[in-house]
Amino acid sequence: MAIRRKFFAGLTALVSFVLSGAAQATAELNMRPGVTETSLEAFELHMAVIWVMTGIAVVVFGLMIYSMIFHRKSKNPTPATWSHSTTVEFIWTIIPFIILIALTIPAVKLLIKMEDASDPDMSVVVTGSQWKWHYKYMEHDIEFFSNLATPQQRENFSLEEAQNNPNYLLDVDNELVLPANKKVRFLMTADDVIHSWWVPELAVKKDAIPGFINETWTQVPTPGTYRGQCTELCGKWHGFMPVVVKVVTETEFDDWVAQKKEEKIAAEKAAAEAAAQSWEMDKLMELGKTVYDAKCAACHMQNGAGVPPTFPALKGSAMAIEADQINAHIDIVVNGKAGTAMAAFGNQLTDAEIAAVVTYERNAWGNDTGEKVQPADIQAFKAGN
């Protein structure tokens, strides 16, 4: 039966193409070797297993195919009668055992190396939250959030966008900047649910677990930008919280640290100035809308209707219209709400931005309270009242 034979020939071709073809290491077909020592070793181990598995596949499937061709009824009308052989069974128990031990030895060595985060040159605390990352450099007093560069709203994600943007879904507003050739330890934790921080080219993947810290490390020899994603299902926008690591030379890193410090001073000054003024409604509403669309609309929707009960509506919500709830409103924006996706924005936004967004929420979509919240109010709230 020609068709059958063709099929099995095709199947063999497919299997060998896949298992060994992957070995030809075209970028799309295979794991990326990555750039760190551990990622390269993981890649080598991956290739070694693929080859071993291919070898076993060739033998086992080869025997099956041979048997299917030559031991069919038309070729072999009388079947053999044997059905047992202790020797053979012993051999094919022992051989896989030996192969597995041979694979285990390099795996054990690499694992021990990958888990050794001791004696780092610097440490970064990585905190996952729905749906962004926060990085805090322990030695440099620098911390910032890293959001998807495109605001998390459905209409921003289309085929066209994907075709035009090579880093579609893999681009953030603030990358994690690291110096090359330094051993960097990551301390992972999470704010709400479990997330997982993964950069394929560094071969670093570690879960960020709320309440606990985990550690892992990397040492990147070559400057460059390395992209990854969250790999633990963390809710609605799980697919939209990329990880971007920008590795720079040591001097560039020092410059970046200095620049971040200047930016911080400038931002504090700007915030103080903003707090000193009394803002007009138009200005608050304008800034408020920008902030809202970028930070709040992913859950509460652009029209303020939310997706109840998970993401409550702000439109017509008591908290956003009743005058005596204004402090509660500021509180939830500044401190977040436990057990929900409502994050604390107190240190993600400036006082002016918080004032603007609260004002916007109290006046948009027919909430028309006419109330203004000033940056100074936020400053006072944060200082404790």
Partner 1 sequence: MSEQEQKLSNKSLVMRLLGVVGGMFLFGFALVPLYDVFCEITGINGKTRGQAIYQKKEIDHDRLVTISFIADVKRGMPWEFKPMENVVKVKPGELNEVRFYARNRANEDIVGQSVPSISPSEGALYLNKTECFCFDQQRLAAGEEIEMPMKFYIDADLPEDISHLTLSYQLYNVTEAFAGDSVAAK
Partner 2 sequence: MADHHPTGLKRWLFTTNHKDIGSMYLWFSFVMFIIGGAMAMVIRAELYQPGLQFVDPNFFNSMTTMHGLIMVFGAVMPSMVGLANWLIPMQIGAPDMALPRMNNWSFWILPFAFTLLLSSLFMDGGAPNFGWTFYAPLSTTYGPPSTDFFILGVHMMGISSIMGAINVIVTVFNMRAPGMTLMKMPLFVWTWVITAFLLIMVMPVLAGAVTMMLTDRHFGTSFFDAAGGGDPVLFQHIFWFFGHPEVYIMILPAFGVASEIIPAFARKKLFGYSSMVYATASIALLSFVVWAHHMFTVGMPVAGELFFMIATMLIAVPTGVKVFNWVATMWQGSMTFETPMLFAIAFVILFTIGGFSGVMLAMAPVDFQYHDTYFVVAHFHYVLFPGAIFGTTAAVYYWLPKWTGKMYNEKLGKLHFWLSMIFVNLTFFPMHFSGLAGMPRRIPDYNMMFADFNQLASIGAFGLGLTQILFLAILIKTIWGKAEKSSDKPWDGATGLEWEQLPCPAPYHTFDTPPKVS
Contacting partner 1 within 103-142 (CB under 8 A): 116-120, 123, 125, 127, 138
Cβ–Cβ contacts within 10 Å for residue 64, how many?
Answer: 11
Nearest distance, CB of residue 371 and partner 1, angstroms = 19
Contacting partner 1 within 326-345 (CB under 8 A): 327, 331, 334-340, 342-344
Contacting partner 1 within 214-233 (CB under 8 A): 214-215
Nearest distance, CB of residue 174 and partner 2, angstroms = 20
Q: How many chain residues touch partner 1 (CB under 8 A)?
A: 36
Nearer to partner 2, 179 or 200 (CB): 200
Q: In what order do the strands lie in the sheet with 122-129?
A: 142-146, 132-137, 122-129, 184-190, 214-218
- Interaction of residue 211 with partner 1, rule CB under 8 A: yes
In degrees and rounded to multiples of 5, residue 205 shows phi and psi of -140, 120
DSSP state of 108: H
- Interaction of residue 92 with partner 2, rule CB under 8 A: yes
- Interaction of residue 51 with partner 2, rule CB under 8 A: no
Comparing C-alpha atoms, which of 53, 127, 36, 159 is closest to residue 96? 53
The answer for residues whose C-beta is within 8 angstroms of residue 168's C-beta and 6 or more apart is 161, 162
Nearer to partner 1, 279 or 381 (CB): 381
Nearer to partner 1, 39 or 130 (CB): 130
- Interaction of residue 228 with partner 2, rule CB under 8 A: yes
- Interaction of residue 212 with partner 1, rule CB under 8 A: yes
Contacting partner 2 within 243-302 (CB under 8 A): none
Q: Burial letters for 186-206: b for 16+ Cβ neighbours within 10 Å, e otherwise? A: bbbbbbbbebbbbbbbbbbeb
- Interaction of residue 111 with partner 2, rule CB under 8 A: yes
Q: How many chain residues touch partner 2 (CB under 8 A)?
A: 112
Give CA–CA dist 346/271, Å, rounded: 13
383 binds, among partner 2, partner 1, none (CB under 5 to 8 A by kind): partner 1
- Among residues 205, 264, 283, 382, the one that binds partner 2 under rule CB under 8 A: 205
Comparing C-alpha atoms, which of 55, 156, 51, 48 is closest to residue 104? 48
Give CA–CA dist 233/47, Å, rounded: 28
Q: In what order do the strands lie in the sheet with 176-179?
A: 176-179, 242-248, 224-229
25 binds, among partner 1, partner 2, none (CB under 5 to 8 A by kind): none
Pairing of β 184-190 and β 122-129: parallel
Contacting partner 1 within 175-204 (CB under 8 A): 187, 189, 191-192
Contacting partner 2 within 24-43 (CB under 8 A): 27-32, 38-39, 41-42
Pairing of β 242-248 and β 214-218: unpaired
Nearer to partner 2, 32 or 283 (CB): 32
- Among residues 308, 324, 366, 384, the one that binds partner 2 under rule CB under 8 A: 308
111 binds, among partner 1, partner 2, none (CB under 5 to 8 A by kind): partner 2
- Interaction of residue 209 with partner 2, rule CB under 8 A: yes
- With both helix axes pointing from N to C terminus, report the angle between 351-363 and 250-276 in degrees, rounded to the nearest 10: 50
DSSP state of 278: P
The span of 62-70, 87-95, 208-216, 244-252 binding partner 1 (CB under 8 A) equals: 208-216
The answer for residues whose C-beta is within 8 angstroms of residue 187's C-beta and 6 or more apart is 123, 124, 125, 126, 138, 213, 214, 215
Can you give the binding site for partner 1, defined by CB under 8 A? Answer: 116-120, 123, 125, 127, 138, 187, 189, 191-192, 210-215, 327, 331, 334-340, 342-344, 381-385
